[in-house]
Structure formats: C-alpha cells, structure tokens
A and B are shown apart, each in its own frame.
Chain A
Amino acid sequence: MSLLDYFKTSRPSSAAQAKERLQILVAHERVSHNQPLYLPQLQKELLEVIQKYVQVDKDAISVSFEQDGNQETLELNIVMPDDSTKRF
C-alpha cells in the first residue's frame, strides 16, 4: 500500500461512491427496460379476471418477466386472501 492510499482509506472516494451507485442503478434499469411493453396492461386485465372470482386487492397480484438467454419466463403471483379457501 502506498503512502497516498494510506491517507485515503479514511472515507470512501468519490469514484467508489460512483461505482456503487451505478451498480445499483444499472441492475435495476436492466430489469425494467427488458420487460415487454404489454406487462402493465396484462397485469391490469388479469387482476380484473381474478377479481370476478376471488376478492383480492390490487397489490395481491404481481407479474414478472425474466429473460435468460433465449428463454423468457412470465411469472404470475397471486396472494389469496385468508378466507378465500372457505368457498372450496
């Protein structure tokens, strides 16, 4: 370790801050930009269909899209309300 490095270790350098901020941002943006444009509409319509049968609220449903090489996966997650089982 050089003398200069020794003086610098006290606080993170601005470059280190830049790197950390970019890593978080880029990871986030990669996911959101890769999502198909129809996703919000699909989520809305699915919710409407499900609400015909089960009383769920808006955040009970999440649709996520993942791309891994050539494979695209659409994952649908619905959290059922506690009393929903009574009907079955």
Chain B
Amino acid sequence: MARIIVVTSGKGGVGKTTTSAAIAMGLAKRGHKTAVIDFDVGLRNLDLIMGCERRVVYDFINVINGEAGLNQALIKDKNCNMLYILPASQTRDKDALSQEGVGKVLEELSREFKYIICDSPAGIEKGAHLAMYYADDAFVVTNPEVSSVRDSDRMLGILASKSKRAEENREPIKEYLLLARYSPERVKLGEMLSVNDVQEILSLHLLGVIPESKSVLNASNSGIPVILDEKSDAGQAYADIVARYLGENKPHRFIEDKKGFFGKLFGGK
C-alpha cells in the first residue's frame, strides 16, 4: 500500500509545486518508488518544474476518462528511474475531475508505488478538495506572511473535516508544516514572522524551513527539482525534510541568520 501525501496551502504561489517536485525526487532518490500527480487541471506546471513538458502525451484526465491507461500517461523521470510524473490536463477544467475517478487512479497507483505525492492547486475548491481527499499525510506549505498563515489555518480545518479519513472516522490525516521562503535576516529585523510565531499560531509539527533562495528559480529555469542542486540551501532544506519525514533525526537548519559582518556584530549570537 502506498502512502498518499498531499502538498497543500490554500493560498497560491507559496511553493507547493516546487515542494512537490523536490519531495518526490528526494523520496525516489532514496529508493522509494514514487509518483507525483499534478492536480492543477487547466494550469499544469509540474511538468515544467520536473523538466518533462515535452514528453507529455496523455494526462490525468485522460486516465480518469479511460482514454489512456496509467502506463501510457505516467512519465518516467529523466534523472531517477524510481520517479514517475502524472501531468494535469492543460485543456480541461477542474470539473473533469471526479471523486470516484481520482479514487480509482490512486488505488491503481497504490499497487505499484510506495509514495504518491499530490500537488494541490491553490484555493479550496474542487481541485484542492480532491487533491487532499484521499491523503494520509498533508504537507502544509506556508510562507511567513499573514494571508498565507490564515489560509493554512483554513486548510487545516478542511483537512480535519472533509477528508476520506475524517468521513470514515479513521485516524486523521497527519499534518506537517513546511515553512517556505524564509528569510532569517528579516525575521531578526522584526520584519517577518518567525518560525516560532507561525508554529504557535498553527500548532503544527514543523517538518522543515525552506529559505528564500535564488536556487529555486535557477532550478525551475532548467527544469530540475531544486533538491538535486545539493550545494544550494533550498536543496539541502528539502533533503532534510525528506530525511525527517522518513524518521531520521535532523536538527533544523536555515532558521538562524548566519551571514554578514553586521549581523554578527549586532546580532549577539
């Protein structure tokens, strides 16, 4: 049986697709057969971040409608043979997704794969709802910013009440906080919510902090998940997150401001 992870947020543009690509690659690189699904029907982007946009023939909707088999639609990643991508449809809209159809695809994938990552669209409508409905774990991607934190809290309420697990009165979805686009320097200056602030407000288990990093744009420019840029801070942050998710004990990094002469001079620590 596979473990189904939804990468969700409520608010748009906080780093869900970046995270989905990185986490999926990280799990696959460690030898776990992993599939990553783009639920953003009509606005597919995961294919670009994974660098497989020119190999898309069939998509998620085609599989749901029985127009193609899963084996025809799944794209094997070029960097890792344990990783497969199921792209979203670019021409259809969210209504093409049905709860039953999504359930069937996930069930079939569950027989083959160890982890299934669902890259949720923004919002709390159908696409986002179906991305989380069957999940076992939720990675709640949040930026240290008021509207993102508020939307994450809203999403937590939905995860707790509208999932299959909730409806069947089973153990609830396990929720994890991934705080993305973090700038320790700005936190120190009192210009940005700190990781402790966000944790206090959301009372969530922190899986990791991903710093604001130039390497993310570089990675998306070249269509290679940032986790493969092992020298980059964001790449390392995602590698840590995968390790922690798999139960390893990794101390948190990228929380303290380490750079700058003035930072050291005035910062105390």
Binding site for B on A (CB under 8 A): 1-5, 8, 13-16, 18-19, 21-23, 25-26, 29-30, 33-34
- How far is the CB of B161 from the nearest CB of chain A, in Å? 8
- Evaluate contact between B157 and A34: CB separation under 8 angstroms: yes
- Evaluate contact between A33 and B146: CB separation under 8 angstroms: no
- B200 — which chain A residues lie within 8 A by C-beta? 19, 23
Q: Which of B16-24, B66-74, B148-156 contacts A (4 or more CB under 8 A)?
A: B148-156
- Evaluate contact between A4 and B267: CB separation under 8 angstroms: yes
Binding site for A on B (CB under 8 A): 145-146, 149-150, 153-154, 157, 161, 187-194, 197, 200-202, 265-269
- Evaluate contact between A8 and B190: CB separation under 8 angstroms: yes
Contacts A/B (CB < 8 Å), 12 sampled: A4-B266, A15-B191, A15-B192, A15-B193, A15-B194, A18-B193, A19-B201, A22-B150, A26-B150, A26-B153, A30-B153, A34-B161
Closest B residue by C-beta to A5: B268
Q: A18-B197, A22-B146, A26-B150 are in contact. List 7 more A-B contacts (CB 8 A).
A: A2-B266, A4-B189, A14-B191, A15-B192, A18-B193, A25-B150, A34-B157
A61 to B199, CA, bound (A): 37
- Evaluate contact between B201 and A23: CB separation under 8 angstroms: yes
- How far is the CB of B200 from the nearest CB of chain A, in Å? 8
- B269 — which chain A residues lie within 8 A by C-beta? 2
A52 to B95, CA, bound (A): 47
Closest A residue by C-beta to B188: A4
A26 to B192, CA, bound (A): 18
Contact of A15 among B150, B190, B268 (CB under 8 A): B190
- Evaluate contact between A18 and B146: CB separation under 8 angstroms: yes
- B187 — which chain A residues lie within 8 A by C-beta? 15
Contact of B157 among A22, A23, A33 (CB under 8 A): A33
Contact of A29 among B153, B190, B191, B268 (CB under 8 A): B153
- B191 — which chain A residues lie within 8 A by C-beta? 13-15
A8 to B267, CA, bound (A): 12
- A21 — which chain B residues lie within 8 A by C-beta? 146
A73 to B192, CA, bound (A): 38
Contacts A13-B190, A15-B192, A29-B154; A22 near B201 (Cβ below 8 A): yes
- Evaluate contact between B268 and A1: CB separation under 8 angstroms: yes
- How far is the CB of A82 from the nearest CB of chain B, in Å? 41
- How far is the CB of B212 from the nearest CB of chain A, in Å? 15
- Evaluate contact between B150 and A29: CB separation under 8 angstroms: yes
- A23 — which chain B residues lie within 8 A by C-beta? 200-201
**Central interface residue in A4, A14, A21, A33, by most chain B CB within 10 Å:** A4
A14 to B192, CA, bound (A): 7
- How far is the CB of B160 from the nearest CB of chain A, in Å? 9
- Evaluate contact between B201 and A26: CB separation under 8 angstroms: yes
- How far is the CB of A16 from the nearest CB of chain B, in Å? 7
A25 to B146, CA, bound (A): 10
- A16 — which chain B residues lie within 8 A by C-beta? 190
